[in-house]
């Protein structure tokens, strides 16, 4: 039901201004890093900066097009949009491989990457499904369908293979968590099938907080791999704990700390529950970390080496870790205020010390030219954009609008955090572009369409009651 037809009056100018500013800064950086003195015009289509200008124009046109479409269209046609993006993901699997992956449709540099547009289709269908599903009375079907909407494109993307985009799709799990999706309908039947006399579960803490638990598992996994290759020295006991014994000691300390913390927040009669929870958590953690250690040892040699490089357990500055090593050198060479525009040396395309410096590692030349001060400003712009989208999400009356807005916020956050992390040796190199900044048509078009759909939904937020 519509009550108000004012669109421009409700347009979010701060978010749009941030979007335009990042676009301009991105174009400027691509021009600087790929500059060819024989073709100085920024509109020269034979150079990457000319092509990026072309993609920018197409992106703004597509953005305007999706903004002019009534917001109800996205809700009504969410399934066809999702199905279309899935069909592209299937078709691309039969295309010739490029750099070892079947991820592109088209010819050469004029191709598009369907996985980028699959994020939009998934966000729209997930928003529509959660807006009609009864979240407060969830069934097994509701939870399975919500997760299937995310998992189907993830599987197709993994078949390409595109590990970076696969990781980005886990951002939707946080959207499910925000909307209160519990995994109890899947977990409870299993627990209640265990023949324990007098115990029947109606709700579990695990089912409600399944998503953050997954990231606790990730934390334990990283901790296991770090400590299993090191030695912990207990000077006061004169003991050295090597390998898995160090992991065991670490988990024991965490459990004891957790026990005393729970004793403080639990009531007197529930303090036995704190001890029970601590013991169970300790035993589960020990089992999990031992399984992780066992699985890691079974990996192929090159897989183990990549993980060890990311965790800093081994060094290979001129081999597998060359990209991250040179990227960090470029970022550090910028100093406090940088070397100035078009004065990047370590990360320029001509020197090629940092491969893909105009795409995945575009933060390097920017940091080298503008230094720490400029980098902080860029990071602030992305943080502002993400927080602004969260504010927009929270003011929506419609569940559809809110879920879509949170999806956009999480996707941008993933890209921003992982890309910057790749450039400063904080995350693995998995081919994640910096939104609105990196060279590339597919990324620029998909993020622009995503942003303009959000702006349109928000501009009509007062028109929608449901």
Indicate the Cα dihedral angle 444, 448, 449, 451, nearest 10°: 140
Position 69 in a domain: yes
What gap in Å lies between CA 134 and CA 386, rounded to an integer?
Answer: 28
CB 126, CB 146: distance < 8 Å:
yes
Domain limits for position 424: 8-199+390-463
Q: What is the pLDDT of residue 279?
A: 78
Position 97 in a domain: yes
Position 72 in a domain: yes
Name every residue whose Cβ is closer than 8 Å to that of residue 351 and which is 6 or more positions away in sequence. 345
Percentage, residues of the chain above pLDDT 70: 79
- Picking from 84-88, 305-309, 446-450, which range would have the lowest pLDDT averaged per residue? 305-309
Position 343 in a domain: no
As given in the structure block, the two tokens for residue 405 are: 């807005």
What gap in Å lies between CA 400 and CA 40, rounded to an integer?
Answer: 46
User: Higher model confidence: residue 328 or residue 308?
Assistant: 328
Position 219 in a domain: no
What percent of the residues of the chain are helix, what percent strand, and what percent coil, each to the nearest 5? Answer: 65, 5, 30
Report whether pLDDT(229) > 90: no
What are the angstrom distances between the C-alpha of 463 and each of 13, 132, 391? 19, 18, 18
**312: helix, coil or strand?**
coil
Question: Is the Cα dihedral 64, 69, 75, 79 positive or negative?
Answer: negative
Q: What is the pLDDT of residue 1?
A: 40
Residue with tokens 């627990």: 191
121-137 pLDDT tens trace: 999 999 999 988 866 66
Per-residue pLDDT, averaged over 329-337, amounts to 81
How many structural domains comprise the chain?
1
CB 344, CB 33: distance < 8 Å:
yes
As given in the structure block, the two tokens for residue 75 are: 């809700």
CB 172, CB 150: distance < 8 Å:
yes
As given in the structure block, the two tokens for residue 234 are: 């207990």
Q: What is the pLDDT of residue 326?
A: 74
Name every residue whose Cβ is closer than 8 Å to that of residue 431 and which is 6 or more positions away in sequence. 162, 163, 164, 360
Model confidence, pTM: 0.83
Q: What is the pLDDT of residue 207?
A: 77
Q: What is the pLDDT of residue 2?
A: 47
What gap in Å lies between CA 223 and CA 71, rounded to an integer?
Answer: 46
Name every residue whose Cβ is closer than 8 Å to that of residue 30 and which is 6 or more positions away in sequence. 48, 49, 52, 358, 362, 439
As given in the structure block, the two tokens for residue 141 are: 């079907």
Report whether pLDDT(450) > 80: yes
371-429 pLDDT tens trace: 889 999 999 999 999 999 999 999 988 899 999 999 999 999 999 998 998 888 777 77
What are the angstrom distances between the C-alpha of 184 and each of 143, 191, 208, 444? 9, 10, 7, 39
Quick count: other Cβ atoms within 10 Å of Cβ 382?
Answer: 22
Position 23 in a domain: yes
243-266 pLDDT tens trace: 667 777 777 777 787 777 777 766
DSSP tag of 93: T
Q: Considering the chain, what is the average pLDDT of its residues? A: 81
CB 230, CB 250: distance < 8 Å:
no
Q: What is the pLDDT of residue 299?
A: 59
Position 341 in a domain: no
Position 335 in a domain: no
């Amino acid at each position: 039901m519509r009550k108000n037809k004012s669109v421009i009056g409700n347009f979010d100018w701060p978010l749009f201004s941030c979007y335009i500013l990042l676009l301009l800064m991105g174009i400027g950086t691509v021009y600087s890093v790929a500059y060819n003195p024989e073709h100085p015009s920024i509109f020269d289509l034979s150079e990457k900066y000319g092509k990026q200008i072309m993609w920018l124009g197409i992106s703004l046109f597509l953005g305007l097009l999706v903004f002019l479409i009534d917001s109800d269209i996205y809700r009504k046609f969410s399934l066809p949009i999702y199905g279309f993006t899935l069909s592209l993901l299937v078709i691309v699997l039969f295309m010739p491989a490029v750099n070892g992956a079947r991820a592109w449709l088209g010819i050469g540099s004029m191709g598009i990457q369907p996985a980028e547009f699959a994020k939009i289709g998934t966000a729209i269908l997930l928003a529509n499904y959660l807006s009609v599903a009864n979240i407060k009375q969830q069934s097994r079907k509701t939870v399975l369908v919500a997760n299937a909407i995310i998992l189907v494109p993830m599987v197709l993307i993994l078949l390409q293979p595109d590990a970076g985009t696969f990781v980005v799709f886990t951002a939707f799990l946080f959207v499910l968590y925000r909307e209160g999706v519990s995994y109890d309908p899947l977990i409870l039947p299993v627990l209640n099938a265990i023949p324990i006399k007098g115990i029947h579960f109606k709700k579990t803490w695990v089912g409600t907080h399944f998503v953050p638990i997954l990231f606790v598992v990730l934390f334990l996994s990283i901790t296991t791999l770090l400590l299993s290759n090191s030695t912990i020295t207990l000077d006061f006991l004169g003991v050295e704990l090597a390998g898995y014994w160090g992991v065991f000691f670490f988990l024991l300390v965490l459990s004891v700390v957790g026990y005393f913390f729970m004793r403080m927040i639990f009531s007197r009669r529930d303090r036995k529950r704190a001890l029970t929870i601590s013991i169970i958590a300790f035993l589960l953690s020990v089992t999990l970390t031992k399984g992780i250690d066992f699985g890691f040892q079974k990996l192929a040699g090159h897989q183990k080496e990549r993980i060890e490089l990311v965790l800093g357990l081994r060094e290979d500055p001129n081999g597998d870790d060359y990209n991250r090593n040179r990227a960090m050198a470029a970022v550090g060479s910028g100093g406090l205020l940088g070397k100035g525009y078009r004065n990047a040396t370590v990360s320029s395309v001509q020197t090629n010390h940092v491969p893909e410096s105009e795409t995945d590692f575009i933060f390097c030349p920017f940091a080298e030219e503008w230094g720490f001060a400029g980098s902080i400003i860029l990071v602030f712009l992305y943080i502002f954009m993400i927080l602004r989208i969260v504010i927009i999400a929270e003011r929506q009356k419609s569940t559809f609008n809110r879920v879509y807005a949170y999806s956009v916020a999480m996707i941008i956050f993933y890209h921003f955090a992982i890309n910057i992390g790749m450039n400063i040796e904080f995350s693995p190199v998995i081919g994640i572009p910096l939104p609105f900044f990196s060279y590339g048509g597919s990324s620029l078009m998909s993020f622009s369409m995503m942003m303009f759909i959000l702006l349109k939904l928000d501009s009509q937020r007062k028109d929608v009651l449901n």
